[in-house]
Amino acid sequence: MGIGIRLENVRKVYDTPPPMAARGAGFSFTPMRSGAPKEKKKKFEVVALDGVSLAMRPGEVFGLLGPNGAGKSTAIGILTTRTRPTSGRAFIGDFDIWQEQVKAKRLIGVVAQRPNLDFALTAREVLLFHGAYFGQNARERARRTDELLEQFKLTDRADHMVRTFSGGMMQRLSIARAMMHDPEILFLDEPSAGLDPQTRLLLWEIIRGYNGLGKTIVLTTHYMDEADTLSHRLAIIDHGKIIAQGTPQELKASIPGGYLLRLRFDRVTEELMAALRTLPGVTEVRSTDHIAADVYADRGGPLIAAIVNTAQAAAIELRDVHISEPSLENLFLHHTGRSLRD
């Protein structure tokens, strides 16, 4: 079960400022204006996606990680029929998203970056009408609406107009709405932006639960921990290009030096240093002072036993170990030379 997604060499160039939906929160597509009025005004052009190819497998949680303006929302826009690719093709299952929009739309649920609820309706009506758009009958609609309102803790505000809702409530309702017609694929564009930590955890739980039903989930985020904990696989995107992809573990392992083990002994000798260098997976050993050593290796925990044995063999006492896991932050830094939050 589950439906996969494919992007084939997708390119998107905006020649007019893209609509709000495709705009990152802190990013602006303000066109370049030349200073002197006599000069010909520079033609507006923004390359949002530059030849992106990606495959998301059925039933996985796929994360798109990147800074604001990297092209994440444009990618989501193309995958959800809302943005027309300049070139290249995108598929949901076997359906070409641009050519067979209606079939694609049936399979997807979309949570936009900013709540885009129908302000003329109450929370319950938002869900009921959404179900109706997807052809659910009245009984099914009512049952599913009650379920979702309960699940998203919105039951007590169900009959209030959504324009009176707080940001977090709107976000919850947006997600409930996207799940209303039980889509095979759920797209979430920066779902936890602006959510308090509690709601964020609730959201993660819901995403995992929905994924547990065999549904494919695509989410964009610029939070490292979110990408790391939620996604089975992820792609890091910057300036419209995929700069790395794989499981979070694979990606982190791809950083040279990978894990960092900071060791403290009662003393450090040259023999010990030499012995540590011969351990499997160790790329570099540095002595920081006469009682500590930093070991760079492609693994963390599994190395501890060998280190203990090495120390014992040299009659040296191991006093402290700290394993620092490779992080996506480091990976992004490694590939772009910039921090993700810049």
Chain residues that interact with other proteins, rule: CB under 8 A: 14, 18-22, 77, 80-84, 101-102, 105-106, 108, 110, 112, 114-121, 125-126, 129-130, 132-135, 177
Q: Residue 78 and residue 37: Cα distance in Å, rounded?
A: 36
Q: How far is the CB of 322 from other proteins (least distance, A)?
A: 47
Q: How far is the CB of 109 from other proteins (least distance, A)?
A: 8
Q: Which two tokens stand for residue 267?
A: 């003393």
Q: How far is the CB of 114 from other proteins (least distance, A)?
A: 7
Q: Residue 259 and residue 237: Cα distance in Å, rounded?
A: 23
Q: How far apart are the first and last CA of the chain?
A: 39
Complex with other proteins: residue 110 or 276, whichever CB lies closer: 110
Using a 10 angstrom Cβ sphere, with 0-12 exposed, 13-18 middle and 19 or more buried, the burial of residue 151 is middle
> Which residues, in sequence order, are CB contacts of 334 under 8 Å at separation 6+?
255, 256
Complex with other proteins: residue 118 or 342, whichever CB lies closer: 118
222 contacts 68 by C-beta, under 8 angstroms: yes
Q: How far is the CB of 166 from other proteins (least distance, A)?
A: 15
Q: How far is the CB of 65 from other proteins (least distance, A)?
A: 22
Q: How far is the CB of 118 from other proteins (least distance, A)?
A: 5
Complex with other proteins: residue 163 or 319, whichever CB lies closer: 163
Complex with other proteins: residue 68 or 254, whichever CB lies closer: 68
Complex with other proteins: residue 29 or 296, whichever CB lies closer: 29
Q: How far is the CB of 174 from other proteins (least distance, A)?
A: 9
Complex with other proteins: residue 100 or 147, whichever CB lies closer: 100
Complex with other proteins: residue 187 or 265, whichever CB lies closer: 187
